[in-house]
A and B are shown apart, each in its own frame.
Chain A
Amino acid sequence: MSKNMDVEKNLLPPGDFGIWIIIYVELLTFGLFFIGYAFSRRANIEMFNTSQLMLNQTSGFINTLILVTSSYFVAKGVHIMQTMTQDNIKEANKKASQWITFAIICGIAFLFIKGAEFVHIFGEGITLSTNKFFMFYLLLTMFHFMHVGLGTVILFNIRQRTKTSGYTPDDTRGFESGASYWHMVDLLWIVLFPLVYIIR
């Protein structure tokens, strides 16, 4: 019985089915924005290239490293949860909690760096109506910023539950769901960074 459950578990994505519906909808929404950006750029290449020079590529790069690393930390936490046994519940929760704490710190660092970038951009008098490039830039990055914020709150809640050894070998779905959401946030940024900051 337990073996069958394990096999069945491995055939489905980690976490609750509901989180995957949310992830697919988010991917679709951002995907449309990415395509919209790429085709709008075709009609205004000079303006897009000039406007792009006002972005700070280094902060975009640092934020990419931060998100990729945070995703790694979360994956380590999930690995600990998935290999947990009845004998090491407390220890596994404690170890996973540490990895999630590192990921939360990364999430906060991302928000801080991106927030500073927004302050700079708005300080230059740039708004959504400045031009098409900045309309897409602000919509995409602010929308993504909110997802990082929500993801950080989710990770914080996961961490709180690990503090009370709330995850057991039979109940790790909540952990996996939050982790999957966080990886989606990372996946979106992996496309967003070269598209908006690098390609010209």
Chain B
Amino acid sequence: MTNRKRTLEYVWIILVILTIFAYLLGYLKIISTSLVAVLLVTTFIKGALVSDYFMGLKDVKMKYRFIPIIWLGVIILLIGVAYYLPI
């Protein structure tokens, strides 16, 4: 029980750190083509953490666990395709 309580705290800290990272990329105007890929990966990680630990889907049947994860993966992938595909 204590482990799960601690896990929620760790997940929240990771989410805050990744949010600060995303903000600094924009605020300091250092967002570049290659950093967009990093930003998209960190966005996927944040979404997966919310889905698994906050929504509590980590321990449910695989199909239920993976619906939001697949949604997130497809959306992030298509955003990446739209950004990187040559015009």
Q: Are A65 and B54 in contact (CB under 8 A)?
A: no
Q: Are A11 and B60 in contact (CB under 8 A)?
A: yes
Contacts of A198 in B (CB 8 A): 22-23, 25-26, 31, 39
Q: Are A194 and B82 in contact (CB under 8 A)?
A: no
Contacts of B15 in A (CB 8 A): 68, 72
Q: Does A86 contact B (CB under 8 A)?
A: no
The contact string, 1 if C-beta is below 8 Å from chain A, for chain B 7-19, is 0100110011001
Q: Are B67 and A24 in contact (CB under 8 A)?
A: yes
B positions within 8 Å CB-CB of A: 1, 4-5, 8, 11-12, 15-16, 19-20, 22-23, 25-27, 31, 36, 39-40, 43, 46-47, 50-51, 53-57, 59-61, 64, 67-68, 71-72, 74-76, 78-79, 82-83, 85, 87
A positions within 8 Å CB-CB of B: 10-14, 20, 23-24, 27-28, 31, 34-35, 38-39, 41-42, 57-58, 61, 64-65, 68-69, 71-72, 74-76, 78-79, 83, 176, 180, 183-184, 186-187, 190-191, 193-195, 197-200
A sample of 6 more A-B contacts (CB under 8 A), given A76-B5, A199-B83, is: A34-B79, A38-B79, A69-B16, A190-B43, A198-B39, A199-B39
